[in-house]
A and B are shown apart, each in its own frame.
Chain A
Amino acid sequence: MTTHLDISHISIEFPTPKGPFKALDNVSLKIKKGEFVSLIGHSGCGKSTVLNIVAGLYDATEGGILLDGREVKGPGPERAVVFQNHSLLPWLTSYQNVELAVKQVFRKTKSKKEMHDWIMHNLELVHMTHAADKRPDEISGGMKQRVGIARALAMEPSVLLMDEPFGALDALTRAHLQDSLMEIQKDLNNTVIMITHDVDEAVLLSDRIVMMTNGPAATVGEILHVDLERPRERLALANDPRYVDYRTQVLTFLYEKQRKVEPIQATAKSKTVAASAKVANA
């Protein structure tokens, strides 16, 4: 299969009072159509920066983004983003939030009726039709994130960008939404880039896991192909040796090869102990 999204040798520098700070150095990644790629790394390693560059919210200092062979500049709905904290407009209902996106993208191509059906269809995908007329402050965190996903899906993006979409949710809600996402992904087969710091989430959802080195000047460290057949079942996988092996590989990368050096000695020590204990368990 050919490359759908080509992240080509991107570097970015941010100006600081002490001179330019190089956050990313020569990050390259080719993604095929329908592929689900996770970016994982310690916080501060610049994985969100990669996503923001792909989204067009930041401009790379060097390199660029090619979508189907054409360079993309600036943000646009064909690279829809699911933000970490849902970012729904609090004064609009779920329906209106999705509507804002649909009107913007399909104003010229769909009739009013078609747009309405399309909004309802996307709310249906995330099982949120029952709360279509509720405002964000009237629904739970998980439900808000569902609406956020519906809004992004409704733009019919070529690439769906998810910035730690379930990071702010409790473990049960997160598992629920991961299952929902897999279900949707089975039907729509979107190209997805997801940022996560959750190893299980990465292995469960991804076709490939891109592990990033620590910043400054972070780049792609290792890439892991996850060859588990779909549909994936979290309970069945928990004891699957291949799953455990993938998990261990990611953990090894994060906690041995790219151990985060903490500025405070004590926390670094306790974290390392905890990490190695986790690896041993796995």
Chain B
Amino acid sequence: MISNITMASLKDKISAFSVKGILLPVFGILVFILLWQVGASRVHTSLGEFPGPVVVYEQWNSLVAEHQNERVKAEKFYVRQEERIAERQAKDPSYAGIIRDYTGKPTFFDQIFTSLYTVLAGFGLASLIAIPLGILIGLNRSVYSALNPVIQVFKPVSPLAWLPLVTMVVSASYVSDDPMFSKSFLTSMFTVTLCCMWPTLINTAVGVAAVEKDLLNVSKVLRLGWVTHVIKIVIPSAIPLMFTGLRLSLGIAWMVLIAAEMLAQNPGLGKFVWDEFQNGSSNSLGRIMVAVLMIGFIGYLLDRVMLAFQRFASWDKTQVLR
């Protein structure tokens, strides 16, 4: 009897979940695609019709095909090299031979990885600066008063304004015969860092400053040392707001990156969009639209990954996180 009831309620729950969790979103997406198709066919540009979902799907397939072709080419390139070296070694055993890297044009998917790599580097650097600084600012009102004006002024600066300055500084200071990183990568990364560190900084500071007074009293009564106080009381208290900041920062980082890559010519998604725009073929708009959707999708995934980290690090597992 009981199991019957629980089975029935379970079924209700599942069906309620599948309506809200699956049917409605699918319906929403279908309506969007329909409106998109209808709307797109009415917009005409010098490069042809605005890309509708069908065109975008075709362009996606062609990008996948290009990527596969490029991989096959690279494969063949390496096989050829090895054969050639083996031939020479057969004649002259002392010949060592060097395998040269394949230098073909990066595909759409290579560019996605470049973008991800760049954004994570920039965001990581920003977090390394912003979290300790935020803790310091939150703990000490004097430091807060001193730094607040600077933070407030730099916070709203657009990445496009920073970029020329960063470019010049990187070109002037990063001079090396055998560079480990390309300048375009460093420029994009630093621009991302400069633009995305503020939410983490501010939220960490607010979280640290908002530690409950009772807990501060506990710390005082126990005469906790500064380090123990920060590790045991301040940081756990600040974790929820810290993660709010980190998620905002990562979102900004991803948005900024695309703009930075366009101008810095870092071979990521930003450069892809820019190159397609400059290229101006009849396929360009469709390919740009693929990139737009991909940028949105990756941004969403990045936020989910951050959310998973937040769930893992948060001590309050009952907290509703979305």
Contact = CB atoms under 8 A, between A and B. Distances in A.
A111 B132 CA distance: 34
A193 to B, nearest CB: 14
A75 B315 contact: no
A115 to B, nearest CB: 15
B217 interface: yes
B223 A89 contact: no
Interface in B215-237: 215, 217-218, 220-224, 228, 232-233, 236
A87 B315 contact: no
Chain B contact residues: helix, strand, loop or mixed: helix
B215 A104 contact: no
Nearest to A138: B318
A155 B214 CA distance: 18
A89 B220 contact: no
Contacts of B101: none
A105 B220 CA distance: 13
A90 B315 contact: yes
A104 B224 contact: yes
A77 interface: yes
B318 A137 contact: yes
A135 B221 CA distance: 21
A81 B316 contact: no
A76 B228 CA distance: 16
A75 B214 CA distance: 13
B217 A83 contact: yes
Q: Which DSSP category, helix, strand, loop or mixed, fits chain A's interface? A: loop
Given A87-B214, A89-B233, A89-B236, A79 B221 contact: yes
Given A85-B214, A87-B215, A90-B315, A75 B232 contact: no
Contacts of A87: 212, 214-215, 217-218
B217 A57 contact: yes
A91 B215 CA distance: 12
Contacts of A135: 315
Interface string A84-121: 01010111100000001100110000000000000000
A108 B224 CA distance: 14
Nearest to B232: A100
Contact of B217 (A76, A81, A92, A105): A81
Contacts of A74: 220
A137 B221 contact: no
A55 interface: yes
Interface residues of B, number: 17
Interface in B290-322: 315-316, 318
A57 B223 contact: no
Contacts of A105: 222
Contacts of A55: 217, 221
B221 A80 contact: yes
Q: Which of B221, B222, B316 has the largest number of chain A CB atoms within 10 A?
A: B221
A80 B223 CA distance: 11
Nearest to A148: B218
Contacts of A81: 217, 221
Nearest to B218: A87
A137 B222 contact: no
A151 B212 CA distance: 18
A87 B218 CA distance: 7
Contacts of B236: 89, 91
A100 B232 CA distance: 9
B29 to A, nearest CB: 38
A57 B221 CA distance: 8
B83 to A, nearest CB: 61
A90 B318 CA distance: 12
A56 B214 CA distance: 14
In the complex, the 5 A-B pairs of residues with the closest C-beta atoms, listed nearest first: A91-B315, A87-B214, A91-B236, A75-B220, A75-B221
Given A75-B221, A89-B218, 5 more contacts: A56-B220, A77-B222, A79-B221, A83-B214, A92-B232
14 contacts: A57-B221, A75-B220, A75-B223, A76-B221, A77-B221, A77-B223, A87-B212, A87-B218, A90-B315, A100-B222, A104-B223, A104-B224, A105-B222, A135-B315
